Structure 1
Amino acid sequence: MKKFQAHHKLMALSSVALAGILTLNACGSTNTNSDSSASATSSSSAAASGSAQSSSGPLKIENTWAKATDGGMTGVFGKITNTSDHDVKVVSATSTATDEVQLHTTVKDSNGSTKMQQVQEFTVKAGETLELKPGGNHIMLMGLNCSLSAGASTTVTLKTEDGATLEFKPEARDYSGAKEEYQGDAQSTGSASAGASASASGDSHDGHEHGHG
């Protein structure tokens, strides 16, 4: 009887350990009730109650998705619309899948080659939509040590210049197409504006291949 109980306990512990390994190996969970749009929110302290209040910001994002990957890096895409009468700057992004998230745009070098380059911000012009798409502006999840399989989702949060945040959960898709070369040794400069995009070919992020579309 004691041997049976010990064996049963060992099997239970093994199942827990295996579940932990599977969790570590996957960047996100299956998106069973995915929303492809979100609104920017900011939090402030309420003096009377001491509780945090959320107010709608000027940005909304829709049609979001990410390229499925076995690890390394991947791109995140969607359409960011500015509903206000003033320009809004997205200055950074974070993700639950990695600690390294970059804002990227597409540029051409002196030889006419198209490359991906990190920028400090995305400017979403008043009343306009900035499309994040393969071969154009996009968000890069770098240094992934986990997989993001098709159908799974991860959480991405954009931060604007005024401190507001825009959280969304892009669902991963299997996707192949044109690939880009990453200008990894270039300094992060400039701003990508609404409407800025270019086709891309070639592919290597500091020697690692990746494709956005």
Structure 2
Amino acid sequence: MFTRPRFLATAAVALASAAALAGCASDTASSEASLTVEDPWVKTVESGMSAAFATLTNSTDADLTVVSASSDAAPMIELHEVVDGEMQEKDGGFTVPAGETLTLQPGGYHLMLMGVEEPIAAGDEVAFTLELEDGSTVGFTATAKDFDGANEDYDGESMDMDHSSDAEASMDAESSH
């Protein structure tokens, strides 16, 4: 038989259980959100390759490693570093030491967007997801900015991926010898 006091007691137990579970969920969420992303931005591009930058802050007492990144803006994103003026994939990902920050910046560590097909224009907001070594993820949105600096090489080629004039010049130089 349905009685209001029994129903209220059952409802109170259910609510208390849900609250306790919600508390556990928020603890998990806060540990996953222990890496914060500050001042994110992405370089404008018509198509081809671009790069994203930010400051990553680790608020835990253990090192955190970013192992991959994704975005709808590019079918592939690699974690890169610049060594002797040339970009290369960063083996092992980006480690953010416990209680410290890691800056992703032109001429250093960065997220390399590859195969961009749609223009990223100044002022666009681009969503990214970082995956950490423990499987947790951190999402952020970066604002697109015009940027002409850094000009690092990628496997000896310029970042704009328009090498037809370079190839033609090279072929002309070879044929003149």
Task: Flag the 1:66–1:179 CA change in 2: closer, same or farther, 3 A.
Answer: same
Partner of 2:95: 123
How many Å separate the matches in 2 of 1:153 and 1:206? 21
Aligned 8 A contact 1:183 1:205 in 2: no
Residue 101 (structure 1) aligned with residue 77 (structure 2): yes
Task: Flag the 1:73–1:85 CA change in 2: closer, same or farther, 3 A.
Answer: same
Partner of 1:165: 137
1:95 deviation in Å? 0.5
Task: Flag the 1:77–1:127 CA change in 2: closer, same or farther, 3 A.
Answer: same
Aligned 8 A contact 2:70 2:76 in 1: yes
1:178 deviation in Å? 2.6
**CA-to-partner distance for each residue in 1:108-165, whole Å, 9 max, x for gaps?**
2xxxxx2010113000001110000011100011001110000001111000000110
> Which protein has the larger Cα radius of gyration, Structure 1 or Structure 2?
2
Runs of 4 or more consecutive aligned structure 1 residues displaced over 6 Å after TM superposition: none
Aligned 8 A contact 1:182 1:206 in 2: no
**1:90 aligned to 61, 66, 73, which one?**
66
The answer to which structure has the higher helix fraction is: 2
**CA-to-partner distance for each residue in 1:77-118, whole Å, 9 max, x for gaps?**
00000001111110001101122110000112xxxxx20101
Aligned 8 A contact 2:48 2:160 in 1: no
Task: Flag the 1:88–1:208 CA change in 2: closer, same or farther, 3 A.
Answer: farther
Partner of 2:119: 147
Unaligned runs of 5+ in 1: 1-45, 109-113, 185-202
Map 1:1-213 to 2 at 5 A: 53=25, 55-56=29-30, 57=32, 58-108=34-84, 114-120=85-91, 121-183=93-155, 204-205=158-159, 208=162
TM-score, with structure 1 as normaliser: 0.60
Unaligned runs of 5+ in 2: 1-17, 164-177
Aligned 8 A contact 1:82 1:126 in 2: yes
TM-score, with structure 2 as normaliser: 0.71
**What is the alpha-carbon root mean square deviation over aligned residues?**
2.4
How many Å separate the matches in 2 of 1:100 and 1:146? 14
How much identity, in percent, do the aligned residues show?
A: 45
Which amino acid in 1 is paired with 2:100? E
